[in-house]
Chain A
Amino acid sequence: QKEVEQNSGPLSVPEGAIASLNCTYSDRGSQSFFWYRQYSGKSPELIMSIYSNGDKEDGRFTAQLNKASQYVSLLIRDSQPSDSATYLCAASNSGYSTLTFGKGTMLLVSP
């Protein structure tokens, strides 16, 4: 059974702080990892994808992957109230394979 685990939160951070969101996965064959942001009542939208060990930065967002530890994280620098949402972590092991999603972590950024 492939599983992706996330702390459901809520994770509360003040505006301007760094938010750190974590995710672990059970399938060692997983190759592709994705972070989606989902606002309440809306559909998921892609934030970052990462395929290789290490860090990948895009603006205020940094994804980190450690395949040995089966661990993925998302850092959000200079958090804004508009970042308040549920963040979904997903993993997949091939192009035709399914994405396995975690339950998501709710992030609350207070002004």
Chain B
Amino acid sequence: ETGVTQTPRHLVMGMTNKKSLKCEQHLGHNAMYWYKQSAKKPLELMFVYNFKEQTENNSVPSRFSPECPNSSHLFLHLHTLQPEDSALYLCASSHASGGPQETQYFGPGTRLLVL
């Protein structure tokens, strides 16, 4: 398998459920990202991991909990979500460098609906 993969591709959950989104990259990258994409809004960065260490958390509510066990895998644990959290959740990866931003490559996304 190549590139960036995400599972599940679609998810419907109630507000009291707990679920997890999974992302895996096969590109040898060492930085991974979670984004949220809602209708008519720009892509919103949620979390950044460089070499398994979280380097950014853009004021994301605690009902979203990321986990990065190694440079190839990234999870987003979800609990007690709200209907407004319904969106496309995108994972991306890149090389990490101290110079100009390396290109980020996106996974296919998980379409989440919270009822």
Contacts and interface: CB of A to CB of B under 8 A. Distances in A.
Contacts of A36: 106
Contacts of B108: 42-43
A-side binding surface: helix, strand, loop or mixed? Answer: loop
Interface string B14-42: 00000000000000000100000000111
Interface residues of A, number: 27
Give the bracket for the number of chain B residues in contact with chain A.
20 to 34
Interface stretch (A65-73, A74-82, A96-104): A96-104
Contact of A45 (B43, B96, B106): B106
Nearest to A44: B106
B103 A44 contact: no
Contacts of A59: none
Interface of A: 4, 31-32, 34, 36, 42-46, 49, 51, 88, 90, 92-104
20 contacts: A4-B42, A31-B100, A32-B100, A34-B101, A36-B106, A42-B109, A43-B106, A43-B109, A44-B90, A46-B105, A49-B103, A88-B43, A90-B43, A94-B100, A96-B96, A98-B56, A99-B45, A99-B104, A103-B40, A104-B42
